């Protein structure tokens, strides 16, 4: 178990509540959780420590929305995502902790930029139905999820651009992340990112993820999405700048 003070424990537990909330509510909060985790724990180990807890949230999300996945779209994405995961594993193998910290910050900034670019294009100009866009989205999602557990905003942008209804979005996202996070486990074990200590940490803190997931299901219909999106982007930006500098 990591040696942390009370403030650090509070930040980590808040991060895990956001992880659960992102799985059943607003996905952008997951990016904030990734950034906060990397601020408290050593950056490389934070990715492995967080992965078992992400899987806890994934199981809850699949149990909640399992019947609403767009399987043809999901199956088209997965081979490209696998390529991205392998590329990300290579980077994690050779990057040191400082480089990983800056890489996560840079990835978060790129995600924010892509989000605003997509918003400016408007829904009528979506390229999400073209296979090269799906391939790029899959590769980038695989790379960012292996290096930073930060594929949530990429997939959110892609699935929203594809015009999926809300339940289709939630179901497809749930199955996508359960599948790809499980696929990452052997790589993370081989890289020494998942250890008995990280599993013990996950066992102790998993209730925070479950609490966040329950909260997401309870209040998702009552959230002002515009306000919440702005707050999430602002927190992500601040966390990314902190990781870079």
The predicted pLDDT at position 182 comes to 94
- Residues ≥6 apart with Cβ < 8 Å to 80: 134, 135, 136, 137, 138, 139, 142
**Alpha carbons 184 and 181: distance in angstroms, whole number:** 5
Cα of 107 vs its chain's centroid, Å: 12
The predicted pLDDT at position 121 comes to 63
Whether this prediction's pTM lies above 0.85 is answered by no
- The ranges of the chain with pLDDT < 50 are none
Q: What is the 3-state secondary structure (H, E, C) of 86-142?
A: HHHHHHHHHCCHHHHHHHHHHHHHHHHHHHHHHHHHCHHHCCCCCHHHHHHHHHHHH
CB atoms within 10 A of CB 95: 16
Domain boundaries, the chain: 6-244
The predicted pLDDT at position 25 comes to 78
Reported as a single tens digit per residue, the pLDDT across 122-159 is: 555 555 566 777 888 889 888 888 887 877 777 877 77
Q: Tell me the DSSP string of 168-192.
A: HHHHHHHHHHHHHHHHHHHHHHHTT
């Amino acid at each position: 178990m990591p040696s942390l003070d009370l403030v650090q424990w509070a930040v980590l537990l808040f991060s895990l509540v956001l992880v659960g909330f992102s799985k059943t509510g607003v996905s952008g909060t997951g990016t904030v959780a990734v950034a906060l985790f990397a601020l408290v724990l050593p950056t490389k180990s934070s990715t492995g420590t967080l992965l078992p807890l992400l899987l806890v949230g994934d199981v809850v999300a699949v149990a909640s929305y399992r019947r609403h996945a767009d399987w043809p779209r999901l199956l088209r994405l997965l081979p490209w995502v696998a390529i991205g995961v392998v590329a990300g594993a290579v980077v994690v193998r050779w990057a040191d902790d400082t480089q990983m910290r800056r890489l996560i910050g840079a990835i978060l900034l790129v995600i924010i930029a892509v989000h605003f670019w997509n918003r400016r294009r408007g829904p009528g100009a979506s390229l999400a139905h073209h296979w090269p866009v799906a391939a790029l989205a899959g590769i980038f999602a695989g790379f960012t999820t292996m290096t930073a557990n930060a594929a949530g905003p990429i997939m959110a942008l892609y699935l929203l651009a594809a015009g999926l209804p809300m339940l289709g979005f939630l179901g497809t996202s749930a199955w996508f992340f359960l599948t790809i996070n499980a696929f990452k486990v052997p790589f993370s074990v081989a890289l020494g990112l998942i250890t008995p200590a990280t599993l013990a940490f996950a066992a102790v803190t998993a209730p925070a993820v479950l609490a966040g997931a329950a909260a997401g299901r309870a209040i998702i219909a009552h959230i002002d999405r515009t306000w919440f999106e702005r707050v999430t982007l602002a927190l992500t930006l601040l966390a990314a700048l902190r990781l870079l500098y």
